[in-house]
Amino acid sequence: MPRVFPDQQKKFELDEVFKKLSQESDVKYTGFKDKPHEERKQRFVQDLTEGHSIIVIVSTGTNLTLLFCRNALSEDRPMIQDQQKKNVDFELELGKVHLCSSFIMNGVCVKWIGWIDLETLSGKAKLLFDDHNAKIEDEIMRQVMKRKHKIE
């Protein structure tokens, strides 16, 4: 079964969910809600240095586990420093971290971009269509379909 739709860009442009999520929205870090705020701030930074975070898009209640480098959640994760620095930037703006994460959502390659205030653990973000990864996934889908037709 393919991971993506045949015309991902069209799906991204016409789907109501993507229309809403492509607008800049309020976001919050949702990890460790049972902990005191100071500990949550520390855990947030720790999560980011490990290459992941749990974020909610407030307007839709959409919860996302964002990964900022390959193997971020595996036990055996060699840290990919260049990729990590590109996707988690503590230096761009004082008191904020700027984030970028690519993933497949509802059969469409997207890129989540935004920032979160390190004090309040809230910020702004939006989804963009990820043309680069869409082309890669589209090629993978074509190869799978070719193999499937050869077998049948």
Domains of the chain, residue spans: 8-151
The reported pLDDT for the residue numbered 51 is 87
Architecture of the CATH domain 8-151: Beta Barrel (2.40)
pLDDT tens digits along 38-72: 999 999 999 998 889 999 999 999 999 999 876 55
- Say how far apart CA 62 and CA 99 lie, in whole Å: 17
Position 141 confidence tier, pLDDT thresholds 50, 70, 90: confident
Q: What is the 3-state secondary structure (H, E, C) of the chain?
A: CCCCCCCHHHHHHHCHHHHHHCCCEEEEECCCCCCCHHHHHHHHHHHHHHCEEEEEECCCCEEEEEECCCCCCCCCCCCCHHHHHHHEECCCCCCEEEEEEEEEECCEEEEEEEEEECCCCEEEEEEEECHHHHHHHHHHHHHHHHHHHHHC
CA angle 88–66–89, rounded 5-degree value: 5
